[in-house]
A and B are shown apart, each in its own frame.
Chain A
Amino acid sequence: EAGVVQSPRYKIIEKKQPVAFWCNPISGHNTLYWYLQNLGQGPELLIRYENEEAVDDSQLPKDRFSAERLKGVDSTLKIQPAELGDSAVYLCASSLQGHGYEQYFGPGTRLTVT
């Protein structure tokens, strides 16, 4: 069974430019997460979806970040405009819906903003 797929794996952009990340979760996983991970830190939740609904976006910087999961399957995370401090790894994860289920992570997208 295919795991969580993310693209691109790496992205280098200049500050103030837009960037988008794509994630396809494991088939049958209704819950999808976007995390940000800085070097030496644990993942920090940006947004969680249950099907198409964003049920927790309290940590998403809404002035520049946006996300969508239109058909309840794959998802896109966008940053516009990017800032130097946005350089990090962006991880997507998915799980079955409900509590107590483990998350499965994709390989991440390493973003460098110059």
Chain B
Amino acid sequence: EDQVTQSPEALRLQEGESSSLNCSYTVSGLRGLFWYRQDPGKGPEFLFTLYSAGEEKEKERLKATLTKKESFLHITAPKPEDSATYLCAVQAPPGNQFYFGTGTSLTVIP
């Protein structure tokens, strides 16, 4: 059973066209939900950690939100440099394991 599901798999946006990426999870006892950005040929780069429902975090054009079953990564007025794969991961018991989703590949067209 998948612990973390991300949608859509791929997203193409025009520059300036805002949208949201979804990360739904089924684990119990969430210890943290993490968003990462991954560029081709590089390791994932940490963006945000969310710990409890209702929490929000912002960084430049990105805003992450969390509910009891899912998280959204909102991208406002994206630019071509925002093109990357965005990964979501959850940490849960037992053993504080991390479960990663398969990512959303975002392409922002000038």
Residue of B nearest to A9 (CB): B41
Contact A4 B43 (CB under 8 A): yes
Q: Does B97 contact A (CB under 8 A)?
A: yes
Q: Quick check: is A8 within 8 A (CB to CB) of the other chain?
A: no
Cβ A42 vs Cβ B89 within 8 A: yes
Q: How large is the interface on A (under 10, 10 to 19, 20 to 34, 35 or more residues)?
A: 20 to 34
**Which of A33, A40, A44 gathers the greatest number of chain B CB atoms within 10 Å?**
A40
B32 touches A100 (CB 8 A): yes
Contact with A along B38-72 (1 / 0, CB 8 A): 00011111100101000000000000000000000
Q: In the bound complex, do residue A99 and residue B43 qualify as a contact, i.e. CB atoms below 8 Å apart? A: no
Nearest A-chain residue to B94, judged by Cβ: A56
Contact B100 A43 (CB under 8 A): yes
Closest Cβ of chain B to A79, distance in Å, is 19
Number of contacting residues on B, CB 8 A? 24
How far, in angstroms, from A110 to B96 measured CA to CA in the complex? Answer: 27
User: Which one of B41, B46, B103 contacts A103 once the chains associate, using CB atoms below 8 Å?
Assistant: B46
Among B36, B43, B91, max chain A CB count under 10 A is at B43
Answer whether A99 and B46 are a contact pair too, CB < 8 Å, given A42-B103, A44-B100: no
A41-B102, A100-B49 known; A106 vs B91 contact (CB < 8 Å): no
- Is A107 in contact with chain B by the CB < 8 A criterion? yes
Q: Is there a chain B Cβ closer than 8 Å to A102's Cβ?
A: yes
Contact A102 B45 (CB under 8 A): no
A55 touches B95 (CB 8 A): yes
The docked-state distance in angstroms from the alpha carbon of A26 to that of B44 is 15
13 A-B contacts (beta carbon < 8 Å): A40-B103, A41-B103, A42-B103, A43-B87, A56-B95, A56-B97, A100-B32, A103-B89, A104-B46, A106-B43, A107-B42, A107-B43, A108-B42
In the A-B complex, the 3 residue pairs with the smallest Cβ-Cβ separation, listed nearest first, are: A42-B100, A105-B43, A99-B31
Residues of B at under 8 Å CB distance from A? Answer: 4, 31-32, 34, 36, 41-46, 49, 51, 87, 89, 91, 95-98, 100-103
